Chain A
């Protein structure tokens, strides 16, 4: 066993992702965090934004659905769809941090208001079909996130925009929604709904003609006359005002492909999360989206990783055996503590002896670290409790080592499939993060992986993160 290693368990084969140069590079204008649900995407986006701001950049973080306390800590718990400056950050490097929470419906409303004259805007906003669509159609959130990103980028007020992506059903949604909406609005169905008569005369559409009357009839039958009318009104209003919908969707899409954009895939070292991550990686490559790397959250480490799970368990069992057995086995010699003698009349571990432990374990007595003396029974009880605790510590360690090797295996599988992807690991925290100090800590952890060895002092500070 070597000297205790820092808590961070290191990745051997993969390339390491160095987030600081990425965040500091003035060429980096957009960072998109994507990944499956529950892997810490929002926290990662916020931590990256904070780190970049404290390194002198003017940053805006666009979050979709932050945990309440995280939002509160950043001062964006009110949903007003406007970036708010985050207080309490270190601005000595000249940076600023702004944050906003996406309000889907309002973003949609804003687009309508910006692109239609007042009367038409009112007609659209009041349309029941629109009201339902703007709040909840599949892909609205994705589309509106993209739209907001485009808007923020166009304002050119920030050096860096960090985007958190919606918790999508699948990776496809985020990239596909804008295109899908665009193609729908440009599509034949729209033209059919808006002006069914026009279609009839066209050559090449004849086969449709047959189905056409059946179609409109069917739609009417299916949807009910009123809804069809609502849809038609909506669609024709949208059509005239949203002429450039597709153009804008395309522009945002191109923005994502541009060199100033960096995608970070966020995952946890678990089978499902990494499978999804691999899928994201493949998808991004297929779409020519610039992938900066993988952020692997919640990676466990151990300062005692020289002690294997097996040995720890064996030692724990050794401690839990009634000591009389040790003596019979002649193993009593292992117990080199001076007060290791036992009497067969003593209570077995795990029974009433334990009840006296707290009483006998008053802080002063133990903190002084004196040899138990005098009352032999008492000393024995104390020792039994300590042995029991130590056995627990060893079992805890065995669990940790098993977790470590499982995480390692999962990660190795990913790196074998995608050796080209740079990875940074973030050590697991025991609690949730919901303040700036916690985000700063995550930021340090995000950046630490690229260094040779993280400062061991980081470890002792870790528990404060959730204080």
Chain B
């Protein structure tokens, strides 16, 4: 099992939720995981129903069987100062850089430097060891940028190593790249069973593969329950309205005659069923598209009442049962 698990996905697919559930799933049985947020949205804090996370590793959840989930929201500016401090003992010069706008420049404007810091920090956590020699974290799960940017984000160190041909940045970038391109890393993509996210997933996988980044699994999120199956849908196409009206009536919903309570429900209910049927067909098509990619495919259920902490544990259990952790 790769120790750095990167979770990406199109916006709106719930990648933060999946990343959090994965961190929980990996933490079971006494393991320790670090859940890393890189986009400064505080999505993790919201999911775990805690206050905004500072730039520090903090325990946010306990997993079944005694495991622990730590979380870290990386602030690129602090990460840079941290990094300068650690490697170059830059106390006052760091502050001078800040006054000049150099830190701002480096973390927000310079090509990819921000992404270098984010990936660098995550890789540092992957490699970090305790005095005992044990890894500080068994797993690091990263809630990464969306599919459209993930390859560039992970590959930024290659680019930087190309720009800075020598020097510590070059070395650092190369070290990060070694982790990211090794089996130590797996990049998972979260999608929905809809055309655009699926297309983006397929494109994203092709990009990752051509950049030689290790692709892990496809996780289909928010899968709606199958309320009507093939047999029902077959019948739906031919069933006479009056039969449905009688059936509704027999269920206690009023008269089946024209204008009766049950009869008036038939059209709207059939319209809803037609919409369901259309989506059902689309979803099947999208499943087929995903199956062609040839990666392990997992499905997580939609929580009709919205995601909360209990739902998160539920998803974690689901992931474990599907053998993701």
Contacts and interface: CB of A to CB of B under 8 A. Distances in A.
A41 to B, nearest CB: 10
21 contacts: A4-B264, A137-B110, A137-B111, A139-B108, A169-B39, A180-B104, A187-B100, A189-B101, A208-B99, A211-B93, A218-B88, A223-B169, A307-B265, A358-B234, A361-B235, A363-B237, A393-B273, A396-B227, A396-B272, A399-B227, A430-B276
B101 A336 contact: no
B279 A431 contact: yes
Contacts of B265: 1, 304, 307
Interface string A313-335: 01110110000000000000011
Interface stretch (A84-92, A106-114, A246-254, A400-408): A400-408
A358 B243 contact: no
B108 A431 contact: no
Given A133-B111, A304-B265, A386-B235, A431 B253 contact: no
Contacts of B197: 38
Contact of B148 (A65, A221, A223, A406): A65
- Most-contacted residue by chain A among B11, B112, B273 (CB, 10 A): B11
Given A189-B102, A336-B250, 5 more contacts: A132-B112, A221-B168, A224-B166, A387-B250, A396-B269
B54 interface: no
**Chain B interface residue bracket vs A:** 35 or more
A129 interface: yes
Given A133-B111, A139-B108, A358-B235, A315 B166 contact: no
Contacts of A399: 225, 227, 304
Contacts of A139: 108-109
Nearest to B226: A392
A230 B264 contact: no
B163 A132 contact: yes
Contact of A393 (B114, B165, B269): B269
**Chain A interface residue bracket vs B:** 35 or more
A129 B163 contact: yes
Interface in A345-371: 354, 357-358, 361-363, 366-369
Contacts of A72: none
B88 A358 contact: no
B92 A390 contact: no
A244 interface: no
A389 B276 CA distance: 13
Contacts of A183: 101
Contact of A319 (B196, B251, B305): B251
Interface of A: 1, 3-4, 7, 36-39, 65, 67-69, 128-129, 132-133, 136-139, 167, 169-170, 180-181, 183-184, 187-189, 192, 207-208, 210-212, 214-215, 218-219, 221-227, 230, 268, 271-273, 302-304, 307, 311, 314-316, 318-319, 334-337, 340, 354, 357-358, 361-363, 366-369, 383, 385-397, 399-400, 402-403, 406, 430-432, 434, 459, 463, 466
A44 B183 CA distance: 41
A402 B304 contact: yes
Contacts of A167: 11, 146, 148
B203 to A, nearest CB: 9
Contact of B169 (A1, A39, A212, A224): A224
B131 interface: no
Interface in B236-282: 236-244, 246-253, 256, 261, 264-265, 267-276, 278-279, 282
A366 B269 contact: no
B278 A393 contact: no
A315 B248 contact: yes
B244 A430 contact: no
A457 to B, nearest CB: 13
Nearest to B196: A67
Nearest to B224: A399
Interface string B195-208: 11101000000000
Contacts of A319: 247, 250-251
Contacts of B242: 369
Of all A-B residue pairs in the complex, the 8 with the closest CB atoms, nearest first, are A37-B11, A38-B12, A303-B268, A224-B167, A211-B96, A304-B268, A315-B251, A335-B250
A386 B244 contact: yes
B271 A459 contact: yes
Interface string B268-304: 1111111110110010000000000000000000001
A215 B163 contact: no
B228 interface: yes
B96 A361 contact: no
B10 interface: yes
B211 to A, nearest CB: 14
Contacts of B244: 386, 389-390, 393
Nearest to B153: A136
A463 B277 CA distance: 11
B41 interface: yes
B194 A432 contact: yes
Contacts of B156: 136
- Most-contacted residue by chain A among B100, B242, B247 (CB, 10 A): B247
A183 B248 CA distance: 68
A402 B272 CA distance: 14
